[in-house]
Amino acid sequence: MRTFRGGGSRRVGILIVLLIAGAIIGSLIGEALRPVLPFLVMSKDLALSPTRIDLVALNFTFGFTIKLNVAGALGMIGGYFLYRHL
């Protein structure tokens, strides 16, 4: 059992980086293996449609799309296991 000794925000940052890196690497591997294992690139888009915020002196638009496929999800799981073993 781990004890909390501070530095939690740093650990969360490392987790986020490993999850994103795992998703990217997994997606790249899935694309490379597409001819052999086509199910790895089955994907689902998760999106937040663009939203415009007008604050009189400042206007900005915020939105994003995440395309998650099977290989990317497996990469994220790998990133999580790597995080657990650090």
DSSP labels, 9-78: HHHHHHHHHHHHHHHHHHHHHHHHTTTT-GGGG-EEEEEEEEEEEE-SS-EEEEEEEEEEEHHHHHHHHH
The one-digit pLDDT tens for each residue of the chain (86 residues) are 455 555 677 889 999 999 999 999 999 999 999 999 999 999 988 898 899 998 888 998 989 888 889 999 999 999 999 999 98
Look at residue 2 in the predicted model and tell me its pLDDT.
55
pTM of the model as a whole: 0.73
